């Protein structure tokens, strides 16, 4: 396995609380890794440290071919520029903008016009805008949102807003996608549709790190699962092995009570 993201001894404290305590794991190129654990286990904090939203107090995060890019301590826009995109547990759309405008906002993370932009800036900008708009519509079609492209984002049902967040992340053409509880608030049909979307992204070779509480979502699509508990790594391994680990069952999946 070729590591595409390497997390080593990652530590984050908030006052006297240690949210992450020397957490280490790898995400292989083209693989999907599920990150699970009870509420307060440190999952979103880890995402924040990887993406530059929060600065870790210790450890390293490296990314890319040969793990050439060190991410820990970098600003979020610098991290995005390396090819990393994410969604958020709490939807962060611009409600008054249209659906397609929300997607186009995400394109700014990796905007570049190259040499042509330096020599013919107006022409390069027009070409770039045209290509970006076309790509935005392709993503909306892929996610079943093309028919609502001109509608205000705030008018979408909740499940479609979740999809729009994914589209906005994908427009930046990331090589690593971080999904923070994408199934939260979805009904069973929407969850199955989400599984189909993640599987298609996997088939295209995209590397994915996924936080999810719903085991029926995270286990079928994950190649590897990492379990956090109280900021520490409790277990990791293939989905089936993690599901059957007594420590995981006790801490997160729940232990059946006698007589029930």
- CATH code for the domain in which residue 232 is found: 3.40.50.300
CA 217 vs CA 176, 191, 198, 206: distances in Å:
19, 7, 10, 18
Do 4 and 68 belong to one domain? yes
Which of 87, 101, 81 shows the shortest CA–CA distance to 173? 81
* 94 within a domain of the structure (yes/no): no
Do 181 and 168 belong to one domain? no
Q: What's the CA dihedral at 25, 26, 27, 29 to 10 degrees?
A: 180
Residue 2, SS3?
coil
Q: Which of residues 129, 157, 172 is at a domain's end?
A: 172
For residue 132, the enclosing domain spans: 99-172
Do 36 and 74 belong to one domain? yes
How far is the C-alpha of 185 from the C-alpha of 191, rounded, in Å? Answer: 9
| pLDDT classification of 130: cutoffs 50, 70, 90 | confident
Do 155 and 183 belong to one domain? no
Residues 60 and 32: beta-carbon distance below 8 Å = no
* 90 within a domain of the structure (yes/no): no
Do 56 and 14 belong to one domain? yes
The answer on pLDDT for 252 being more than 80 is no
| pLDDT classification of 215: cutoffs 50, 70, 90 | confident
Do 185 and 235 belong to one domain? yes
What average pLDDT score do residues 70-83 get? 94
pLDDT tens-place string over residues 18-44: 999 999 999 999 999 999 998 889 999
Q: How many domains does the chain have?
A: 2
How far is the C-alpha of 198 from the C-alpha of 101, rounded, in Å? Answer: 23
Do 15 and 58 belong to one domain? yes
What average pLDDT score do residues 86-98 get? 92
Do 33 and 144 belong to one domain? no
| pLDDT classification of 251: cutoffs 50, 70, 90 | confident
Entry pTM: 0.89
Residues 98 and 151: beta-carbon distance below 8 Å = yes
Q: Which of residues 172, 204, 233 is at a domain's end?
A: 172
* 196 within a domain of the structure (yes/no): yes
Residues 152 and 128: beta-carbon distance below 8 Å = no
* 93 within a domain of the structure (yes/no): no
How far is the C-alpha of 206 from the C-alpha of 91, rounded, in Å? Answer: 22
How far is the C-alpha of 123 from the C-alpha of 108, rounded, in Å? Answer: 18
Position 120 scores a pLDDT of 55
CA torsion sign for 215, 217, 223, 225 is negative
* 197 within a domain of the structure (yes/no): yes
Do 165 and 182 belong to one domain? no
246 token code pair: 């007594």
Position 114 scores a pLDDT of 47
Position 260 scores a pLDDT of 35
Q: Which of residues 172, 203, 232 is at a domain's end?
A: 172
* 209 within a domain of the structure (yes/no): yes
Residues 140 and 146: beta-carbon distance below 8 Å = yes
Where is 17: in which H helix or E strand?
strand 17-28
Residues 153 and 94: beta-carbon distance below 8 Å = yes
β pairing state of 58-63 and 224-229 = unpaired
The answer on pLDDT for 150 being more than 90 is yes
Do 215 and 168 belong to one domain? no
Q: Quote the mean pLDDT of the chain.
A: 90
Where is 118: in which H helix or E strand?
helix 114-119
Q: What's the CA dihedral at 152, 158, 160, 161 to 10 degrees?
A: 60
């Amino acid at each position: 396995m070729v590591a595409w993201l390497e997390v080593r001894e990652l530590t984050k404290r908030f006052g006297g609380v240690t949210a992450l305590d020397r957490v280490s794991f790898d995400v292989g190129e083209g693989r999907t890794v599920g990150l699970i654990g009870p509420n307060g286990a440190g999952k979103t904090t880890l995402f924040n440290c990887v993406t530059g939203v929060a600065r870790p107090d210790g450890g390293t995060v490296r990314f890319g071919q040969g793990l050439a890019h060190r991410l820990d301590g970098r600003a979020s826009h610098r991290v995005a520029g390396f090819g990393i995109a994410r969604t958020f547990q709490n939807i962060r759309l611009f409600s008054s903008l249209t659906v397609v405008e929300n997607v186009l906002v995400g394109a700014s993370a990796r905007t570049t016009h190259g040499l042509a932009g330096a020599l013919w800036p107006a022409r390069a900008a027009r070409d770039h805008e045209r290509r970006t708009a076309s790509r935005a519509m392709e993503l909306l079609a892929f996610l079943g949102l093309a028919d609502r492209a001109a509608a205000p984002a705030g008018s979408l049902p909740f499940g479609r807003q979740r999809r729009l967040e994914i589209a906005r992340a994908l427009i930046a053409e990331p090589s690593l996608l971080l999904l923070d509880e994408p199934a939260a608030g979805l009904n069973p049909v929407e969850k199955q549709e989400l599984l189909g979307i993640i599987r298609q992204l996997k088939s295209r070779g995209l590397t994915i790190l996924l936080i999810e509480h719903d085991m029926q979502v995270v286990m079928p699509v994950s190649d590897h699962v990492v379990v956090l508990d109280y900021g520490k790594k409790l277990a990791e391994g293939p989905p089936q092995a993690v599901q059957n680990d007594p420590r995981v069952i006790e801490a997160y999946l729940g232990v059946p009570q006698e007589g029930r």
